[in-house]
Amino acid sequence: MSDILRISRDGRVAHVALNRPDKRNALSAALCHELVKTLEEADHDPGAGAILLTANGKAFCAGMDLDEIGIAGSEAINQAHEQLFTIGARVSTPIVAAVRGPALGGGMGLAANCHIVVAAEDASFGLTEIRLGLWPFLIFRAVAEAIGERRSIELALTGRTFGGREAVELGLAHEVAAEPEARAAEIAFAVAESSPTAVRSGMTFVQQARGRDWHSAGQLALHIRNYVFGSPDFEEGIRAFREKRRPKWPSLGE
């Protein structure tokens, strides 16, 4: 693996940092492939309870790498983009992101795929593809899921940028923090302390319930809830609550 990603581990939190600061962390083909591979590997790691996504340099992600525009229509990069911009709907390990500086085009799509987003005051978001004579085709679904289709259309048509505060108002980010990396890490560690059975079951429900009718989604909820009700983690959670102590989740072998 190259150095375009910095990967580390702290307890049950897998930390992934975009590391192309000289290119404002633009999404090259190599970065897309490595990021998808790394996030999927973290998702399959039973020891990882949360993924912390950050970026080195002054920009979170400036979008597609325009230096590679000639290969942008190739099957390989199309597949990499599709995998990256659907990652939030596919992984069961929560992704917590810290966004500082620009998150434009694909950068905004990447943020929309994260399950919890902490933005800096100086963060800037936007679907700026229209300025290049393009439409945000592959990222549109995740953005619309986060902020609604009508607002997403407005942003795609105008290409306007907006800051962290508006990102919170729209639902793209969850909060603004003076030190977004520290706050996102705090959240990631808190998430990672929760029951792996509960977290993965909940994330699976969210993914599988999407697009179902009301009755079918309810049946799915009952099925998964009954599974969690019968799990050793739930038994331990109830016992720990009554005994006023920290749970020792059996699914972690504690």
**Distance between CA atoms of residues 35 and 133, nearest Å:** 27
**Mean pLDDT value across residues 75-82:** 82
Tokens representing residue 126 in the block:
């936007």
75 pLDDT higher than 80? no
Tokens representing residue 251 in the block:
């699914």
97 pLDDT higher than 70? yes
**Mean pLDDT value across residues 155-161:** 98
Phi/psi at 191 (5° precision)? -65, -40
User: Which of 245, 252, 253 lies closest to 196 in space, CA to CA?
Assistant: 252
In tens, the pLDDT along 14-32 reads 999 999 999 999 999 899 9
Query: What pLDDT is attached to residue 72?
Result: 54
Is CATH 3.50.50.60 correct for 5-192? no
Please answer whether residues 106 and 140 qualify as being in contact, where contact means their C-beta atoms are separated by less than 8 angstroms: no
Query: What pLDDT is attached to residue 71?
Result: 57
With residue 13 as reference, give the H or E element that holds it.
strand 13-18
Q: Quote the percentage of the chain above a pLDDT of 90.
A: 91
Q: Which fold has domain 196-252?
A: Lyase 2-enoyl-coa Hydratase; Chain  A, domain 2 (1.10.12)
Residue 70 CB partners (closer than 8 Å, separation 6+):
none
User: Which of 33, 86, 52, 75 lies closest to 180 in space, CA to CA?
Assistant: 52
In tens, the pLDDT along 177-208 reads 999 999 999 999 999 999 999 999 999 999 99
| Partners of 124 in beta bridges | 102, 163
C-alpha dihedral sign at 2, 5, 8, 14: negative
Please answer whether residues 187 and 171 qualify as being in contact, where contact means their C-beta atoms are separated by less than 8 angstroms: no
Q: What is the pTM of this model?
A: 0.94
**Confidence at 90, pLDDT banded by 50, 70, 90:** very high
- Catalytic residue, chosen from 129, 145, 235, 236, is 129
1 pLDDT higher than 90? no
Active site residue 154: no
Q: Whole-number mean pLDDT of the chain?
A: 95
Query: What pLDDT is attached to residue 66?
Result: 85
Query: What pLDDT is attached to residue 77?
Result: 77
Tokens representing residue 63 in the block:
């979008």
Domain boundaries, the chain: 5-192, 196-252
Please answer whether residues 156 and 135 qualify as being in contact, where contact means their C-beta atoms are separated by less than 8 angstroms: yes
**Confidence at 67, pLDDT banded by 50, 70, 90:** confident
Phi/psi at 59 (5° precision)? -125, 140
| Residue 71 vs residue 173, higher pLDDT | 173
| Partners of 102 in beta bridges | 124
